[in-house]
Chains A and B, each alone.
Chain A
Amino acid sequence: MEILVALAIGVLVGSGVWLMLRPRTFQVIVGLSLLSYAVNLFIFAMGRLSVAAAPVLDAGADAAQLADPVPQSLVLTAIVIGFATTALFLVVLLASRGLAGTDHVDGREPHA
């Protein structure tokens, strides 16, 4: 399972970085989203991968068998913040498209 998760994170980061370096704003925002998905998976994996571990709510369970709750709460926070910032970036992207008349990240076509 470790290798599968690692590969998934790697593919997401690879495509995210590639898209972020592209010249169109839409590609950049999709790249940033992919990157933040990868980061969220990574945070989750830092609590160690385990199958069917009990949540920390279970009173009386063996503490060593519980899933680590901290990465879970971290990833929730990160998802919420990532969602908000992506939405904000989307607004700026649209404003830039409206003001500049092009979707190039520099606000003008390179040869123009």
Chain B
Amino acid sequence: MSALDHGALDHIGVAPILLPLVAGVAMLLLGERRRPLKVVLNLASTLGLVALAWLLLERAATGAVDVYRLGDWPAPFGIVLVADRLAALMLLVTALLASAALPFALARWHSAGVHFHPLFQFLLMGLNGAFLTGDLFNLFVFFEVLLVASYGLALHGSGRTRVQAGLHYIAVNLAASALFLLGVSLLYGVTGTLNMADLATRIPLVAPAERPLLEAGAALLGIAFLVKAACWPLGFWLPSTYAAASAPVAALFAVMSKVGIYAIVRLWPLLFGAGSGASALFGADWLLWGGVATVAYGTLGVLASQDLARLAGYSVLVSSGTLLAVTATADANALGAALYYLATSTFALGAFFLLVELAERGRHAGADILAVTREAFGEDEGLPPPDEEVGVAIPATMAILGLAFLACALLIAGLPPLSGFIGKFALLDALFDPHGYAADGIAPTAWLLLALLLLSSLAALVALTRAGLRTFWIPLGRSVPRVRIIEMAPVALLLLLCVALTVQAGPALRYLRATAQALHAPQAYIGGVLAPAAEAR
């Protein structure tokens, strides 16, 4: 395809999976004692993933679909990894979020339990694999890899609340995995293939008598994805799990609920797009109303939340619901804007989860949680006393925390001047102008989504203002939390990424619109995957 295609760069498609795998296994072999070495390995691997993701993004931006055939078997028979625009985008978002969550964890959280570093890498491996894989069964395998790692990370630091929330989280996800398998095997039974591109070519040809079975399989698969995306009424597990998880883990989880969204955004236009025969747009109403209900429920939750971590959890629901509802409109421009919103809200929520822990630290100093941790892991595995912690404390703590909180609030509520506003504005613009100015009137769905987006933004603004007042202005005799540079820098990094997205909104939106168009007209994807191996060389 290009001059880069020879030598080591041939294998760049599989590198985002192999790098965290190798790093994770190496850290397991190192054992519990050699923490500094693991820190270095983890940092190197995470930063390496950022570089890899950027390289893949630059290649994908030309419109090329990078297909990596494992064992060089041709596509419908062998396993393929596909790096197109969407996959590269998700890889980059994940890697950037991870490179912010990791330094934050290094300040104190990574020593609150065992195996933090290997689990962190395995989670990244599962995420990267899920974004890259080109067939349904490997999607299941990578989902399980990332879920198993996330079970471990959700419980990191132990304590009663975490174990309780983790128990519910694991039970819900195991049930969802069963549905996932049922859906995959039904699709295989009807079409005889698991390769996504091959499925897309075979679904229009399925006989009418087999169609109910096919749609049942697709619906089961969809339910499994909606559980991961925390669609109402399948998402009650999310706020309590995210609120209970330790801050760096919760920040990383901000991209995990987006994996379900990714699977729907990838598969639904591919398998049930406008050109897929009798089953075209199958389930669009379910996606739309599921998204609407999720936003409504999330908005109520945001207003009702008393503590900041739960507020952040419900904000994740609002962002998931918005993305689902917009995906259901099956409009390429709206989807492009939605992907911009996805990147922004992932960074903003990641920053918010980190910030919550810093802001709450002054209130109860995390003493109750840390005490339980120390009890559960024994003295030597517990956290070091405060004066031995890593890094230098920053001055003017409250002012800086307040500023960061303000930026997060602007991003989550979608107010100018940051990228949250641009994301929501681009969304509404695309919804109201699907085919040029008022060519066929404005769809009722557009009005519904307009009301929904504005109301959820208003609710977020009200709730965040109230929470901000209560955290930063009202307390009189509160102690100023000790915040280290290494903890504040990740928050700043994520907020700066949002600023970068604001400044570079033009190129970013162009890339994302091209992504959405390629998703809705998947011929290049299908052709790239199914091309005979010799031709692709």
Q: Which residues of A contact B (CB under 8 A)?
A: 20, 25, 28, 32, 35-36, 39, 42-43, 46-48, 70-71, 74, 77-78, 81, 84-86, 88-89, 92-93, 95-96, 99-100, 105-107
Which chain B residue has the least Cβ–Cβ distance from A25? B167
- Is B185 touching A46 in the complex (CB atoms < 8 A)? yes
- Report the bound CA distance from A47 to B137 in whole Å: 15
Shortest Cβ gap from B68 to chain A (Å): 20
Chain A residues with Cβ below 8 Å from B181 are 39, 42-43, 78
Contact A71 B167 (CB under 8 A): no
Given the known inter-chain contacts A32-B174, A70-B188, A92-B163, please indicate yes or no for A85 contacting B168, CB distance below 8 A: no
Q: Is the interface of B mostly helix, strand, loop or mixed?
A: helix
Q: Contact check: which of A89, A106, A107 meets B174 at CB < 8 Å?
A: A89
B186 at the interface (CB under 8 A from A): yes
Decide if A46 touches B170 in the complex (CB within 8 Å): no
Count of inter-chain pairs, beta carbons less than 8 A: 85
On chain A, the residues within 8 Å of B170 by CB distance are 85, 88-89, 92
CB atoms of B144 and A81 under 8 A apart: yes
**CB-defined contacts of B163 to chain A, threshold 8 Å:** 92, 95-96, 99-100, 107
Q: Interface centre among B155, B189, B376, by most A CB within 10 Å?
A: B189
Residue of B nearest to A101 (CB): B160
* B residues less than 8 Å from A84 (CB atoms): 148
Residues of chain B within 8 A of A100, CB atoms compared = 160, 163-164
Chain A residues whose C-beta falls within 8 Å of the C-beta of B166 in the assembled complex? 92
State whether the Cβ of B514 lies closer than 8 Å to any Cβ in chain A: no
CA distance A35 to B180 in the complex (A): 12
Please tell me if B175 contacts chain A, counting CB pairs below 8 Å: yes
CA distance A84 to B376 in the complex (A): 24
A107 contact from B141, B158, B160, B171, Cβ within 8 A: B160
Residues of B within 8 A of A92 (CB): 151, 155, 163, 166-167, 170
Known: A46-B188, A71-B188, A81-B144. A32 touches B175 (CB 8 A): yes
Select A42's contact among B148, B151, B177, B182, beta carbons within 8 Å.
B182
Q: A85-B170, A105-B168 are in contact. List 13 more A-B contacts (CB 8 A).
A: A32-B178, A42-B185, A43-B185, A46-B185, A71-B188, A84-B148, A85-B144, A85-B147, A92-B166, A96-B163, A99-B158, A100-B164, A107-B167
